[in-house]
Structures are given as structure tokens and as C-alpha cells.
Structure 1
């Protein structure tokens, strides 16, 4: 399983997945519960690779991700990622390391915080291509 966490400067969970450029990618394919977490790979997207504007007409650095974690995302983004084979999990957890640890332990993550951009995304999603 591969999990990508949307971040701000690779430090805190980002509040807008579709606009996020910095991602921490955990490849847990060979991970066992009694092992330390592998170090995440840092993915820094170019402007044209940001998922809100990416055209899906070529390979993307986040291809093959099973689960994306972010503080917020619009319904259109969630539908778009589902078409790409990726589930989206929204949370109020701000610490990426704590979020991944809780996910692997099967613990519930805190509910997402209020974010005005999510409301704006819902309006934008009414006219979304996804």
C-alpha cells in the first residue's frame, strides 16, 4: 500500500489537496507492523502537475497511490482521485507522522477542521469536469 499525505512544506497536513504541491509518500508495500515506518519520499509537484489542473494525459508522480490524506478536498477532487484508483481521507490531524501512525494502527483520525476553501470548492465542483 502507498499512502500520500498532502503537506505544507513537508511539515503539516495541507488544507487543500487539489492545490498541494508538497507530498510525503509512504511506500508500505513491504512494511510489517513490528517494524519502524520507512522514511517517506518527498514529492514536490510542478505547477502543471497540481492535481486540480493536471490533464490526466500522461504519467503523474502520484500515480499508484492507494490512499491520499489531506485536511480538505472538494467532492470533484475526491471523484477524480477515485477514477484514478485512489481513496481520499480527510482529517483534522496536522502532524503527518501522527496521521500515518494512526492509520496503520487502525485508529480513527480527528475530524477535519472548518476550512472556507472547502465551501468554495463545493461551488466550483458544481461546474467541475470530474
Structure 2
């Protein structure tokens, strides 16, 4: 069974990591209430960063729920995701989605990201 943890090596940790993705994103994938930007990295494994502003999601409990669900989703799919740095940004209204809908949105987001990444490499 593969390692299903979420160690520091799977996270974007500092402003430089985020800037690297924002400056020139190779892939852009939209979902309901969220958007993911991705850029190829040299680690060969996905790394995740999250941007959830107070302007878009007012309550801390809602921001934390969104971040927790996104991290869990990436943790479970880390073997399928390509070697990219991913920044997931929350949009207005994401807090209105229930957990099941959010899981479906994230599953579709990762499928589209994998499809676009494989198309970009061929």
C-alpha cells in the first residue's frame, strides 16, 4: 500500500513557491467555487498550496473546512496527480457547497488537471 500521508514535501511552503506558480501557470482548471493553477516542478510529485481569502469565505470555520477537504482530496490522489505545483483558490460561494458536492467538484477538478497535463506533455 502506498504512503497516504501528507508530508511537508507535498506542500507549497513559502511565498516563492506560490510566486513560481502565479507568474506563469502552465495549466488552469476551473471548478464550481474554485480554480486551480498548476506549473510543472522538478520534484516529480504534486505539491499543493491553498488560497482562501476572507473576502470570498467570511467565516474561519468555512475556510478551514474547505482547506481540509482539498488537502484530503490531494492526499488520496497524490499517486495519480502529475508532478506539478498546484495552487487551489477559493471563489465566492464555495462555502455554500456541502461536503459531498465539494468532493465531486474536487474529483472533477483533478480529472481535468490530469487530462490537461497529459495533453500538454504529448
Q: TM-score, normalised by structure 1?
A: 0.28
- Greater share of helix residues, 1 or 2? 2
TM-score by length of 2: 0.29
